[in-house]
Structure 1
C-alpha cells in the first residue's frame, strides 16, 4: 500500500485534526480544499495557512460552478444560516445536496493521479443526525465503490466516523494541537457567531474538554 494519502481539508477543526492524524500516522499527505461557494470562505484561508506552516502539499480547487445545480442550501444560497443545535430540524437547510459524494469522487480521482492509496475525511457521529453523507452506511458504500471505480483501489478512511466532536478534540489536544487557525462558524463574518449548529457543537466540544476555545465570538 502506498504511503501517500489525500486529506480533504476544509480548514475546520475536524479536518484539521484528521490532517494531523494522517501526519502522526506517518503518511505523506496531499491536502485538498474545495471552494464550493460556501459563505464561510474564511475556512479556506485557514486551510492554506496551516498547510503552508506544515509544509504540506496543498491544492485549493474552485468548484463553485456546481451551485448552478445544487440549490437550496443556506451554506451557499441567499438563505439565512439557522441558529440552534445540529439536531434541530432547521439545520437541514445547511445540507448541500450530494456534497460529500462529489468531494470524495474528486479526491479519489486526485488520489489515483498521485498514486495515493487512501482518502482521509472527517465525518463523525455528531454529523449523522443531519447529514446523510456523513453516516457510516454512506461511507461504507462509498468505500466499496471507490475500490472498484478505477484500476487502482482507493480506500475512503474516516478515522473519527464513530466518534463525537468532543472525542476528536480530545485526540487533537493529546497530539498537542492548537486550534487557533481553524474556522467552524457557518457565517462568513469576522468573528464566529456562536449561535449556529456548527459553533454550538464546537463550543460544547471545548467545554467537554475543559479547554477555552481560542476563537473570538460575537
Structure 2
C-alpha cells in the first residue's frame, strides 16, 4: 500500500518533508526528476541514498527536454548561477519555466496509477516572491485541476506553504535529520559554494550565524 507520492529533490526542504511523513506513519513512495539542472548531479545521489537508508521506494524520472528547450541559469544549458542574496532581482534567472507544474502533473498521474491519494511538494513561503509555480494561487488552481483530472482520486498537498525555510530547518532538526545528507547549492560543485543565493538561504535556514549549520562551504 502507498498513501502518498513525494516529489523528492534531495534538497533540505523535501528531505525534511520525507522525514516528517515517515514520522507520521505514512507509506511513501518518492520520485525525483533529472531535468538537467546544474545541481542534479549532487541532489539526486543524496535523494537516492536517503531513500535507501529509510527503505523508501524511489525512482528518478528523466526530463531531458527541459534542459534542451527551456531557458534558465539553473540548467546546464544556461548562463552562470548568480552570486548574492536570495532576492527576486538576483534569483530571477534561476526560474525554470513551469517546472513544478510539469513535475506535479507527472506525480499526479503516477499517484493515480499506484493508488496513492496524495502528492506532496515541499515548496515554502520564502519561494513565493521568486518562483511563480510555488505561489498559493498556483497551488490552489493546480490542485483543482488535478482533482478534476483524476476524478477526485488524487490531491496535491503543500504542507510547508505557509512557513519559511528556517522553520523547515528547525523542524528537520527536531526530527533528527542530518542536514549533511541534503544538497542546496545551485552550482553543483564538489561542496557548497557558500556564495550563491541558494547557499545564502541555506545558511539562513540552518542558523549558520548561530553555529548550527553543519554544511561545509567553499567560502565560509
TM normalised by structure 2 equals: 0.93
User: How far 1:208 sits from its partner (Å)?
Assistant: 7.2
Structure 1 position 79 matched with structure 2 position 83 = no
Summarize deviations over 1:58-85 as a string: whole Å, max 9, x none.
Answer: 0011112233321x20011230101122
Summarize deviations over 1:29-64 as a string: whole Å, max 9, x none.
Answer: 001000000110200010000000000000011112
Structure 1 position 4 matched with structure 2 position 3 = yes
1:36 alignment partner in structure 2: 35
1:100 alignment partner in structure 2: 100
Higher helix share: 2
1:200 alignment partner in structure 2: 200
Return the alpha-carbon distance in structure 2 between the equivalents of residues 45 and 105 of structure 1. Answer: 23
Equivalent residues of 1:86, 1:129 under 8 A apart: no
2:24 alignment partner in structure 1: 25
User: How far 1:183 sits from its partner (Å)?
Assistant: 0.3
Task: Tell me the number of residue pairs that the alignment of Structure 1 and Structure 2 aligns.
Answer: 216
1:138 alignment partner in structure 2: 138
Please state whether the residue corresponding to 2:207 is helix, strand or coil.
Answer: helix
Return the alpha-carbon distance in structure 2 between the equivalents of residues 207 and 50 of structure 1. Answer: 23
Please state whether the residue corresponding to 2:201 is helix, strand or coil.
Answer: helix
1:125 alignment partner in structure 2: 125
* Runs of at least 5 residues in structure 1 that lack an aligned partner in the other structure: none
Equivalent residues of 2:203, 2:209 under 8 A apart: no
Return the alpha-carbon distance in structure 2 between the equivalents of residues 59 and 200 of structure 1. Answer: 29
Return the alpha-carbon distance in structure 2 between the equivalents of residues 45 and 37 of structure 1. Answer: 14
* Runs of at least 5 residues in structure 2 that lack an aligned partner in the other structure: none
TM normalised by structure 1 equals: 0.94
